[in-house]
Structure 1
Amino acid sequence: MTSNPGAKLNSRRESSNKNVYSLSSNGYDDKVYTYGEAINLAGNGRYSFGLLATLSVCTLAMGVDMFGFSVVVNGCTCDFNLNISQTSVLLSMPFVGPIVMAYPWGYISDTRGRRRSLLIAMWISFAVSTASAFSPNWVVMAVLKFVSTSFCSCAQSASYTLLGESCSEKARDSYMLIMTSVLDFSLAAYVAVAYFILNMDFSYDMGALTFTPWRLLALALALPLGIGAFGTHFFYESPKFLVNVQRHDEALECLRKIWRRNNGKGDKYPVKRIILNEEGNERRKDASLVQSLWEQIVPLFKPPLLWRSIMLYFFTAVIFSTNNSFFIWFPYLAEKFTAGMNSSAASHETGLCNMIVSNNNDTSEAIECTSTMQISLVWSSLAQGVSFVLIMLVITKLAYRKKALMIIIMTFSGLASMGAALIRDNLTSFIMFFGLLTNELCIGIIYTYFVDLYPTSYRGMAACIGVMVARASALSGVNLLGAYIMTHCSAMFYTCGGLMLVAAAVSFLLPPDVRKK
């Protein structure tokens, strides 16, 4: 009569694996929770909102440090007497750094922790980016920007992974899209700051260098990196990562703290045993560093993960090669469009491409080196940022329909790209150009898939390789666009539109949407 409880206990212990944390209470084991159940019980409150805000600052800081460098280069052109080739080298540095460091950051994130990798990356990037404001020449600035962006690029993968593993499943998709909407506002943020600082008129002789407005701008754009790094100290490591590396006590303690700061319901946090319930998390503990690095990446390109990797990296390449290239060139294209609208030929309906090319060929006015910025660029950047944020906040209500959103957004962006070249109405063609840029809204969806479709052990590496693919694609897109936008403008828009329509077609092969309850 007394053998049944013991038999049940033994049966449950035999069915457990090394991913289960076991505690005994009065001779009986407590209920086993999956990680999804455990994080859902931790709730969604002040901790989750604070983590979302802090990691959004980190991603915004990354965007400002990488893309805001274009306005810094514009500001230092006169001081360093930059020519076209030197300017091209400088503008390439924010893309080269992340390509080099993507693999190491993926390994560090998966083996040492998401929070730890983020803290190291943000603090070092803040220090180096601050130092770049005092560069004596363009070569030193290029080297420092290479180092700075090599580190801050970790934010794009580590922030999404940490947020996705530390908030409830119901809120995860919405939070990913909200964080992306903050990244979408980076253009408006750094252009607005640059307008006020670069239009200042001061110069201080510091002996080895002269402190002018562009140096103050570099300091201002580095500040969000420090704010993001400081804020990350107030949050915890991903409990899912801790469970995966057998640090169960720390994982449960983090979950209890998250539950407490979220004003969790009940007298105490009920979870005492967790199982990941995932396949593909097995790793050898006695492997050498080289073997460990190799074993970390090979599974991503073997069944069953191979097809997932091909699809997600294809989407990443299409989005970043088209979006980031036009994003970098946005200030230049907006300036040419504004000049065309203000010219005597504005009454003629020529379309975006004709206005860009004709104004680029206009050499009637003498060229003077200037570091100031026009207010029209600020207004157009604010319009882009505000409209994208509003769109993103609307579609967060449909965050669980990731597949449908991918298909709709990529189709719309592809058609808008073609419309920008086809439509002859000047204002409408420029609005179509804004429509092309809406494919950036898919970035948050892509990183949600990185969290959903990969085992915990390889999730950080998968996301970081995604960053490497993104920056390599962006680097190629920026150089191709710069080389051909003036000679084959319409063809560039048609090509981008075609790529996005192909991506929309491939999106039909994504897993079906499942609404999280």
Structure 2
Amino acid sequence: MTRDVVEKIPFEEALDRTGYGPYNYFQTATTGLAIVAYALVGFSGTMVVPTSACELGTTPAQQGILAAIPFIGYILGGVVWGYLGDTRGRRRMLLVSLSLAIFFNTLVSLSINWIMMLVLQFLTTIVSTGQYTLAVTLLSESAPMAKRNLVMLLVASTYILSTAAMSGIAIPIIPLKFSYSIPFLGIFWNSWRTLVLVYSAPCVLCLLCVLCLHESPKFLLLKGEEEKAMKILRSIHRINHRNSEEKFQVTGVLPEQNNTTKLEKSRMDIILPLIKTPLLKYTIGLTVLSLCNQISPFIIWFPKIANQFVNIIQNGDGSNQNLCGIIENKDTVLSNIDAAPCSLNVPSLLITIGLSFLTSAGNLILCLVVNYTGRRNLVIFLTLALGVCGVATNLVHNAYGSGVLFLIFCFGLVINGLYLAMAVAFFPTSVRATAVAFVGTLGGVAKFAGTQILNLLLQNHCEAGFYIFGSLFAFSAIVALFLPDDRMVVKAAPRKKSFDCEKTP
């Protein structure tokens, strides 16, 4: 058929005909902003927990709970928002998630003790989890197939950059010395409370941007609202071809095989396909990969580790030590009168920013090669190589050499984007948002436990922490070998007739 013939065609072909232009650029940027906003309100504890320790009087154990509680919020919120997205719409629920995140994060800034902060941070993470899963799902279902891998990895880069944003915002705010009494709450408004409030700003901006986006046309088609889906496709085409006379010559979209059932179904109707063949193998594989992905606990504690590293190096006491020797050298840090116990020094925040930019740059390089290598194959290579670096971190008794190996190990954060892209490729539209959330839920359980375990190990058995977590990450390469090459899944899609992930682009 020629492109000037009015016709009824499959959804993916119709989406391809809308082109890739300004609408997609704006949506990709909005998705990236949503992910950064989620990280800032959901995981602000990375910066806030150590800087609020003096006022709230938190112990190391309490700080560990505060730092890890976002993972529990992600666990409980992930499946709920996935289900709501699959039944009520991606865009609508994304707006609800953003609004609630702004409200609860504002309350976090008014915490009067660590218990109140714990509860409010927990609620903030639950409501903000939808920003990640729903924004990514909305993007994946609105981008042409040829650009899908690229945009998924691009938005993954923004998640990595969120750590840089977190540190960059903290640098000018944390050192501020102001303190204003709020008598009726019995607290003082100071720099760390201001930082928490400022972290809500991206949510506000993202909310305004999402109001300018359309609902997922694929969601509407699956729901049986073909006319609404066609209206959105025409609008996207018009925006992408605003300087062209080309018309969107499509009269309708063919229903997808076995996907014509409306989405008003029970929770179990959506979850059950994930634990039955043929999707079960993908659910198990991606879940195990998520369980083995224990880079996040190191990222949570990275500012504190970097702070310790800088203090030791500045004192000239640790050049011949490995990283664990530096971490365990508490006496040297305490003897430094310039080291404030409830603050992070600027060099450590700059190191955190540097790690974020380097990791994001590496992720962009992956964007250039992923279509040639495949996501699964990249996972095999990266998890094995980076896991070995994690194990080797404390085999090098030189502060700088050990530190470099640790930074390379932390590069494993890019794996999150690859796992997400694999989930999008493997699971069909009707369960995709739930699948992404479900796989991440069990991974969140492991990350919560991992954050607590790592906190304990760093204080008592530091080297064991690197050996265990590094080996676990390297083991992911073996698990990934049992998953199919995602490039073959995409190629096989047009030939599949059964309800399985092979149909999904």
TM over 0.5: yes
CA distance in 2, matches of 1:284, 1:197: 46
Mapped to 2, the partners of 1:492 and 1:252 lie a distance apart of: 53
Alignment of 1:256 onto 2:229: no
Partner in structure 1 of residue 349 of structure 2: 378
- Residues 241, 510 of structure 1: alpha-carbon distance in 2 compared, 3 angstrom cutoff: same
Q: What's the counterpart of residue 503 of structure 1?
A: 476
Tell me which residue corresponds to 1:5. Answer: none
Q: Deviations over 1:435-465 (max 9, x none)?
A: 1112211211211122221111111110111
- Output one character per residue of 1:47-92: Cα deviation in whole Å (capped at 9) or x when no partner: 0000000110000111112222232222322222223343333223
Question: Which residue is equivalent to 1:234?
Answer: 212
Between the aligned partners of 2:161 and 2:153, the Cα distance in structure 1 is 13
Spell out, residue by residue over 1:404-460, the C-alpha distance to the aligned partner (whole angstroms, 9 max, x if none). Answer: 221222122111111212222221211111111122112112111222211111111
Which stretch of structure 1 is more off in the superposition, 38-47 or 493-502?
A: 493-502
Q: Aligned equivalents of 1:170 and 1:216: distance in 2?
A: 43
How many Å separate the matches in 2 of 1:160 and 1:185? 16
For 1:279 and 1:316, locate their aligned partners in 2 and report how far apart those are by CA, in whole Å. Answer: 29
Secondary structure at 1:445's aligned position in 2? helix
One-letter amino acid of the counterpart of residue 292, structure 2: V
| Distance in 2 between residues matched to 1:193 and 1:237, nearest whole Å | 32
Deviation at 1:362, TM superposition (A): 6.3
Of the structure 1 ranges 65-74 and 248-257, higher mean CA displacement relative to structure 2 is found in 65-74
TM-score, structure 1 as length reference? 0.88
CA distance in 2, matches of 1:85, 1:356: 17
Report deviation, 1:295: 1.7
* 1:308 correspondence with 2:275: no
Amino acid of the residue matched to residue 31 of structure 2?
Answer: L
Q: Distance in 1 between matches of 2:430 and 2:170?
A: 41
Corresponding position of 2:301: 329
Preserved contact between residue 450 and residue 463 of structure 1 (Cα < 8 Å):
yes
Structure 2 segments unaligned to the other structure (5+ residues): 492-505
By how many angstroms is 1:279 displaced? 4.3
Structure 2 partner of 1:468: 441
Q: Counterpart in 1 of 2:256?
A: 277
Q: Which amino acid aligns with 1:426?
A: A
CA contact (8 A) 1:278 1:455 kept: no
CA contact (8 A) 2:377 2:485 kept: no
2-structure distance, mates of 1:99, 1:149:
9
1:48 partnered with 2:46: no
1:90 pairs with 66, 72, 88, which one? Answer: 66
Contact 1:64-1:190 within 8 A present in 2 as well: yes
**8 Å contact kept, 1:194–1:217:** yes
SS at match of 1:201: coil
Alpha-carbon distance in structure 2 between the residues aligned to 1:246 and 1:429:
57
Summarize the alignment of residues 410-449 of structure 1 with structure 2, pairs less than 5 Å apart. Answer: 410-449=383-422
Contact kept in structure 2, 1:403 and 1:510, CA below 8 Å: yes
| C-alpha contact 2:303 2:344 (8 A) present in aligned 1 | no
**Correspondence 1:393-412 to 2 at 5 A:** 393-400=364-371, 401-412=374-385
Partner amino acid for 1:123? Answer: S
> CA contact under 8 A between 2:11 and 2:254: conserved in structure 1?
yes
SS at match of 2:470: helix
Give, as a single letter, the amino acid of the residue that structure 1 aligns with 2:274. Answer: L
CA distance in 2, matches of 1:491, 1:372: 27
Q: Distance in 2 between matches of 1:72 and 1:244?
A: 43
Shift of the 363–198 alpha-carbon distance from structure 1 to 2, 3 Å rule, reads closer
Once the two structures are TM-superposed, the CA of residue 226 in structure 1 deviates from its matched residue by: 1.4
Please report how far the alpha carbon of residue 32 of structure 1 lies from its aligned counterpart in structure 2 after TM superposition. 3.0
Match of 1:298 in 2: 272
Whole-Å Cα distance in 2 between the matches of residues 152 and 298 of structure 1?
A: 25
Q: Which residue of 1 aligns with 2:467?
A: 494
| Paired residues of 1:177 and 1:399 also in contact (CA < 8 A) | no
State the AA in 2 paired with 1:498.
Answer: S
Q: Is the 8 A contact 2:51 2:344 kept in 1?
A: no
Q: Is the 8 A contact 2:78 2:133 kept in 1?
A: no
**Partner residue in 1 for 2:11:** 35
Structure 1 stretches lacking a partner, 5+ long: 1-28
Match for residue 485 of structure 2?
Answer: 512
* Distance in 2, Cα, partners of 1:224 & 1:135: 21
Structure 1: how far apart are the matches of 2:77 and 2:165? 26
Moved more, 364-373 or 48-57: 364-373
Supply the distance in 1 between the matched residues of 2:90 and 2:304 (Cα, whole angstroms). 37
Shift, 1:314, TM fit: 1.3
Choose from 90, 94, 100 the match for 1:124.
100
1:249–1:154 CA distance, 2 compared to 1 (3 A): same
Q: Using the alignment, how far apart are the partners of 1:281 and 1:260 within structure 2? A: 27
Separation in 2, partners of 1:347, 1:235: 53
Which of 291, 315, 320 is residue 317 of structure 1 equivalent to? 291
**1:283 Cα deviation after fit:** 6.3
Q: For residues 460 and 60 of structure 2, what CA distance do their matches in structure 1 show?
A: 17
Equivalent AA in structure 1 for residue 469 of structure 2? C
Distance in 1 (alpha carbons) for counterparts of 2:33 and 2:342? 28
What's the CA shift for 1:360?
6.2
User: Amino acid of the residue matched to residue 342 of structure 1?
Assistant: Q
Which residue matches 1:215? 193
Q: Which residue of 2 aligns with 1:170?
A: 146
- In the alignment, what sits opposite 1:186? 162
Residue correspondence of structure 1 range 74-85 to structure 2 within 5 A: 74-85=50-61
Of stretches 205-214 and 373-382 in structure 1, the one that deviates more from structure 2 is: 205-214
With 175-184 and 197-206 compared, the bigger mean Cα shift is at 197-206
Partner secondary structure for residue 183 of structure 2: coil
The higher radius of gyration belongs to 1
The percent of aligned pairs where both chains have the same amino acid is 26
Structure 1 residues 326 and 77: alpha-carbon distance in aligned structure 2, compared to 1, 3 A threshold? same
- Determine if contact 1:110/1:458 at 8 Å carries over to the other structure: yes
One-letter identity of the residue aligned with 1:488: H
Distance (Å, rounded) in 2 between the aligned partners of 1:414 and 1:58? 30
Q: Aligned-pair RMSD on alpha carbons? A: 2.3
SS state at 2:253 partner: strand
Provide the C-alpha distance between the structure 1 equivalents of 2:160 and 2:448, rounded to a whole number of angstroms.
19
Moved more, 372-381 or 215-224: 372-381
Residue number in structure 1 paired with 2:496: none
CA shift for structure 1 position 284: 8.3
